[in-house]
Amino acid sequence: MNFRVRQMKDRKRVILGIDPGFAILGYGVIEESAGEENSICFGCLRTSVKENFVERLEQIYKGVNSLIKEYKPDEIAIEKIFFAKNAKTAMQIGEVRGIILLTAIQNKVPIFEYTPLQVKLTIASYGQADKSQIQKMVKLILKLKEIPKPDDAADALAIAITHCHTKRR
């Protein structure tokens, strides 16, 4: 019995964290093993304002699909949007999220959603934590030499870490 528990605990798990956006989509790929998280890669997918929105959605689809094919995540964690000041922006982010969800479904990768409050509470143990506090904690948790840049990538890593801490096997 103990052997089986150890085997499950030591199993490596790859998580793709996504901070959805249509101009800049942050991503972070981490590996969790034995209760520790390590960064594999992070960055951003960018789309040009010169392109029409549908073309930008296609670029996001291709970019996320490429990340899934390359890193083969066991699970995807994405930020759940629950508030936006601008209705047009909220709708566009919703469409981007739809593209991400569809891409995950097509690749048969389970997807999990987390609100900004859940991320802040998990990463900083404080629901009013600001971006710089979250970024510093991401750096510490992943034992990085520097705070991940750009901000969207740091947010994606925070979402992936939140998933690891929330869904421990």
Distance of CA 137 to the CA centre of its chain: 15
Catalytic residue flag (residue 152)? yes
State both tokens at 51.
Answer: 């392109």
**What φ, ψ does residue 36 adopt, rounded to 5°?**
-115, 145
Query: CB within 8 A of 50, min separation 6: which ones?
Result: none
Q: Which candidate in 31, 75, 152, 155 is catalytic?
A: 152
Catalytic residue flag (residue 151)? no
Q: Which candidate in 19, 31, 32, 155 is catalytic?
A: 19
Catalytic residue flag (residue 74)? no
Distance between CA atoms of 79 and 150, rounded to whole angstroms?
17
Secondary structure (3-state) at 158: helix
CA angle, 106 then 92 then 147, to 5°:
80
Q: Which candidate in 32, 75, 79, 155 is catalytic?
A: 79
Q: Please say whether the beta carbons of 85 and 125 come within 8 A.
A: no
Q: Could you list the active site residues?
A: 19, 79, 152
